[in-house]
C-alpha cells in the first residue's frame, strides 16, 4: 500500500517535481563546477556509446512491436485491423509533413540548401544520401533485421511469443521510469547550464560563440553561447513543440467535429482531455497512461465499439505517435540551426520515410527520441566532427518539457482517432447486417 501511495504522489506532483529538479540542477551547476563536470561526463559517456547501442535498441523495440502489430486480430476480422492500421499510418505521414512545414516556417529554412543547384539537383543529392544510408547504415540494418524477424516469427511461434511478451514488458516497465524523471531533469538542468563550456572544449578551445549560431525563431534571435542562452533555447524549443502539437490537435478536433456530428468539443475538454492530459504531461509516458485512457474513452464515448477502442487506444502508444514525429523534425531543425548545418525543406522531406518507419519502434516512455538521434545525423549529412555535438544537443534538448508536450498529443489523438475510425466501422457493420437480413428474408420467402 505504501508503494501505491508513492506512485500516486509522483503522478500528482510530477510537474512540480520536474520543474524544481530542473531549477535545482541549474543551481547546483552554478554553485559547483565539479558537479556540472560530473553530470556532463556521464552524459558524454552515454553519447559515446550511443553509436554502438542504438542499433541494438532499435531492433529490440522495433521487432516485437511489428510482430505484435502483425498479430493483432479483431472480432471483425483482419480486414478491420488492416484498415485501422493504414488509417493511422496516413495520419502519421500527415504529422511528419506538418512537422516539416512547421519547422521550415519557424526557422526560415530554404527550399533547398545549395544556392548554386536546382531543386532537382538538391532532391537527387538527398535521395542519394538516403540510398547510401539504406545500404551502409547500421541503423537500417537494425530495421531490416526487425522486418526479417517478423517473417521468421510467423513460421516459428516460440520466437513470436517470446518477442511479443518482450514488447509488453517494455511498455509495462515504462512506469518505473517515473521516479527517475526528476533525476533526469536535474541532470539536464546541470548539463544545459554547462553546455557552452562543453562546446568550447569540443572545438579545441575556441569560444562557443565561434561554433554555435544564433537561433532565429519567428524573427527573434536567441544566442546559446551562455548558460542563460542555452536554457532559453531549451524552453523555446519545448514551447515550439507544444505549439506545433496544439495546432495539429486543434485541426484533428475540427475534423472530428465535422465527421462525427454529435461530438462536443466542450465536453471533450471537460470530461476527457482535462483528466488524461495532466498525467501524460507529467509522466511523459503514453504506455503508463494507457489504462486511464482506455477507461475515460469507454466512460465518455460508450458508442465506440470495444474492439475499436481497444485497438486504437490500446495500441496507440506505438501506432499513433503524431506528437513524437512532429518533435523529431522540429528538434532536427533546431539543432541544425544551432550548429550552422545547412538543411532545407528537401532535406527534411527526404528524412520523412526514415522518421515514419522508426516511429514504429517508439516504446511510449520518456526520452524515446534517443532512437532517432543517430539516424538523423546520417540522413541529414552531419559531418563526423560535428556529430558528437549534434547528438549531445539532440539527446539533451528532447528530455523533459518537449517530451511532455509530445506525449500529451500522442495519447489524446487516440481518442479522436477512435471516434473517426468507429464511424467507418459502424457503417461497414450496418451494411453487413443489412446484407445478411436481406438474404435471410429472401430465403424465407418474405417480401422486401
pLDDT per position as a tens digit, 389-404: 888 888 878 877 788 8
Q: What is the pLDDT of residue 176?
A: 62
Q: Which residues pair with 361 in a beta bridge?
A: none
Are the beta carbons of 184 and 42 closer than 8 angstroms? no
Rounded CA separation 44/195 (Å): 11
Rounded CA separation 309/300 (Å): 12
Q: What is the pLDDT of residue 418?
A: 92
Q: What is the pLDDT of residue 129?
A: 64
- When comparing pLDDT for 43 and 439, which is higher? 43
Are the beta carbons of 110 and 345 closer than 8 angstroms? yes
Rounded CA separation 379/377 (Å): 6
pLDDT per position as a tens digit, 356-371: 888 876 766 666 787 8
Q: What is the pLDDT of residue 84?
A: 83
333 pLDDT band, cuts 50/70/90, is very high
Task: Give me the DSSP letters along 175-229.
Answer: GGGGGGHHHHHHHHHHHHHHHHHHHHHHTTT--GGGTS--EEETTEEE--SSHHH
Maximum CA extent, the chain: 92
- Please give the C-alpha separations between residue 421 and each of 260, 272, 305, 307, in angstroms, as whole numbers: 10, 18, 10, 11
* Residue 16 in this model has a pLDDT that exceeds 90: no
Other C-beta atoms closer than 10 Å to the C-beta of 124 total 13
φ, ψ of residue 293 in degrees (nearest 5): -60, -45
Nearest Cα neighbor of 59 from 326, 352, 287, 363 is 363
Query: What is the mean pLDDT of the segment spanning 83-98?
Result: 91
C-alpha cell at 272: 476527457
CB proximity list for 429: less than 8 A, separation 6 or greater:
76, 305
pLDDT per position as a tens digit, 417-438: 999 999 887 776 544 444 444 4
- CATH number assigned to the domain covering 2-434: 1.10.3860
Nearest Cα neighbor of 260 from 74, 412, 426 is 426
208 pLDDT band, cuts 50/70/90, is very low
106 pLDDT band, cuts 50/70/90, is very high
Q: What is the pLDDT of residue 188?
A: 75
- When comparing pLDDT for 271 and 113, which is higher? 271
CA geometry: angle at 93 spanning 89 and 98, to 5°? 145
Using DSSP, state whether 32 is helix, strand or coil.
Answer: coil
* Residue 332 in this model has a pLDDT that exceeds 90: yes
Are the beta carbons of 410 and 322 closer than 8 angstroms? yes
Q: Which residues pair with 215 in a beta bridge?
A: 222
C-alpha cell at 266: 466542450
Instruction: Please state whether beta strands 215-217 and 220-222 pair in parallel, antiparallel, or not at all (unpaired).
Output: antiparallel
Rounded CA separation 425/402 (Å): 34
Lowest-confidence range among 107-111, 148-152, 158-162?
158-162
Task: Print burial letters for 327-340: b (CB count within 10 Å at least 16), e (below 16).
Answer: bbbbbbbbbbbbbe
Query: What is the mean pLDDT of the segment spanning 249-268?
Result: 93
Q: What is the mean pLDDT of the chain?
A: 77
Residue boundaries of the structural domains of the chain: 2-434
Lowest-confidence range among 150-154, 173-177, 275-279, 435-439?
435-439
Are the beta carbons of 81 and 73 closer than 8 angstroms? yes
CB proximity list for 249: less than 8 A, separation 6 or greater:
409, 412, 413, 416
Lowest-confidence range among 10-14, 25-29, 267-271?
10-14
Amino acid at each position: 500500500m505504501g508503494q501505491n501511495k508513492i506512485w500516486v504522489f509522483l503522478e500528482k506532483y510530477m510537474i512540480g517535481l520536474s520543474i524544481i529538479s530542473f531549477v535545482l540542477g541549474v543551481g547546483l551547476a552554478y554553485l559547483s563546477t565539479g558537479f556540472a563536470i560530473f553530470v556532463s561526463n556521464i552524459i558524454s559517456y552515454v553519447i559515446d556509446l550511443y553509436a554502438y547501442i542504438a542499433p541494438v535498441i532499435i531492433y529490440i523495440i522495433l521487432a516485437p512491436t511489428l510482430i505484435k502489430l502483425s498479430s493483432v486480430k479483431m472480432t471483425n476480422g483482419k480486414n478491420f485491423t488492416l484498415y485501422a492500421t493504414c488509417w493511422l499510418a496516413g495520419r502519421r505521414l500527415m504529422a511528419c509533413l506538418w512537422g516539416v512545414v512547421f519547422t521550415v516556417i519557424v526557422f526560415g529554412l530554404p527550399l533547398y540548401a545549395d544556392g548554386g543547384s536546382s531543386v532537382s539537383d538538391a532532391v537527387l543529392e538527398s535521395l542519394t544520401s538516403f540510398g547510401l544510408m539504406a545500404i551502409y547504415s547500421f541503423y537500417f540494418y537494425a530495421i531490416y533485421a526487425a522486418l526479417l524477424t517478423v517473417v521468421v516469427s510467423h513460421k516459428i511461434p516460440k520466437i513470436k511469443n517470446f518477442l511479443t511478451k518482450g514488447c509488453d514488458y517494455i511498455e509495462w516497465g515504462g512506469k518505473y521510469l517515473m521516479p527517475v524523471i526528476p533525476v533526469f531533469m536535474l541532470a539536464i538542468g546541470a548539463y544545459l547550464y554547462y553546455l557552452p563550456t562543453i562546446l568550447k572544449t569540443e572545438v579545441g578551445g575556441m569560444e562557443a560563440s565561434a561554433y554555435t549560431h544564433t537561433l532565429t525563431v519567428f524573427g527573434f534571435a536567441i544566442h546559446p553561447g551562455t548558460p542563460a542562452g542555452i536554457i532559453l533555447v531549451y524552453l523555446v524549443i519545448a514551447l515550439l513543440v507544444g505549439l506545433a502539437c496544439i495546432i495539429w490537435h486543434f485541426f484533428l478536433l475540427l475534423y472530428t467535429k465535422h465527421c462525427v456530428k454529435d461530438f462536443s468539443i466542450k465536453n471533450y475538454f471537460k470530461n476527457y482531455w482535462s483528466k488524461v492530459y495532466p498525467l501524460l504531461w507529467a509522466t511523459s509516458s503514453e504506455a503508463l497512461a494507457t489504462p486511464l485512457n482506455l477507461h475515460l474513452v469507454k466512460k465518455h464515448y460508450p458508442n465506440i465499439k470495444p474492439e475499436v477502442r481497444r485497438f486504437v487506444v490500446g495500441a496507440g502508444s506505438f501506432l499513433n505517435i503524431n506528437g513524437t514525429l512532429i518533435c523529431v523534425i522540429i528538434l532536427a531543425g533546431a539543432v541544425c540551426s544551432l550548429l550552422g548545418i545547412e538543411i532545407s525543406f528537401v532535406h527534411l522531406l527526404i528524412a520523412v520515410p526514415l522518421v515514419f518507419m522508426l516511429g514504429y519502434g517508439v516504446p511510449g516512455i520518456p526520452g524515446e527520441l534517443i532512437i532517432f538521434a543517430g539516424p538523423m545525423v546520417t540522413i541529414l549529412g552531419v559531418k563526423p566532427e560535428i556529430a558528437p555535438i549534434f547528438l549531445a544537443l539532440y539527446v539533451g534538448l528532447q528530455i523533459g518539457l518537449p517530451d511532455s508536450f509530445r506525449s500529451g498529443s500522442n495519447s489524446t489523438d487516440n481518442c479522436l482517432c477512435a471516434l473517426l475510425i468507429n464511424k467507418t466501422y459502424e457503417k461497414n457493420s450496418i451494411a453487413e447486417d443489412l446484407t445478411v437480413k436481406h438474404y435471410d428474408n429472401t430465403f424465407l420467402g418474405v417480401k422486401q
